[in-house]
Amino acid sequence: MALDGKDSAGMDSAVMGRWLLSLGAGLLAWLAVWWLTPYHPFIALGLGLVLAPLVYILLSRLGIPYSAPVSGPQVMVAPQVVPVSSAEAAESLLAKAREAKPVTEIETVLADGRAKRPPTLNAARGGLADDLKIIKGIGPKLEQMCQRMGYFHFDQIANWTEAEVAWVDENLEGFKGRVTRDRWVVQAKVIVEIGPEEFLKQVATGREF
């Protein structure tokens, strides 16, 4: 049986709604498993990817969400997408990585006494801190330490100068040198540039920052 424009639009809306709900469920499952269990983040991500299509199948059988036919003439407008090749995307990410300061430069800053504390915040903007654990090398303890020091957001870390990196490196009690060793600033710059979700996708493919 052929579908007219209204029925087709309604079905497309329902399918999109199911996928959004499914992806949301998968994302929540990934975060829950990663945070509440000792499993590796990649294992948690795999569980989330498995759960998402299962949720979609369940929603499809239950008919959730229901989308009524849209009244009036339907005009399909193709989204404007600027194509970016994988090579260009990779080059952009590598360019960010090349901005990292060598360890020797940081050591020189410390030796010269030029280390400087980065600007801090009294609390997270809007009461919601970024998930700094997305940065490789930052676990729950280091995230809490960063927050106590006044650092809640990726853009704060992304803007650290070499003098500020040297100060944080020296003042991470029990974790000295981790900012430079794990390239926090590089990772934060990339996260600010492409977003946390895309960053995690790149990491999942094995890309190193």
The answer to whether the beta carbons of residues 155 and 125 sit under 8 Å apart is no
Q: Tell me which residue of 13, 26, 17 sits closest to 53, measured CA to CA.
A: 26
Helix 41-62 × helix 196-204 angle, to 10°: 110
The tokens describing 5, both together, are 């424009």
Kindly state the helix (H) or strand (E) to which residue 13 belongs, with its residue range.
Answer: helix 5-36
The alpha carbon of residue 138 and the mean position of all alpha carbons in its chain are separated, in whole angstroms, by 13
Return the pLDDT at 195: 94
DSSP 54: H
Q: In whole angstroms, what is the distance from residue 136 CA to residue 181 CA? A: 10
pLDDT less than 70: residues of the chain: 1-19, 21, 26, 30, 33-36, 38-42, 44-45, 47-48, 51-52, 55-56, 59-113
CB 152 within 8 A of CB 123: yes
Q: Against a cut of 0.75, is the pTM above it?
A: no
Residue spans of the domains in the chain: they are 5-62, 86-204
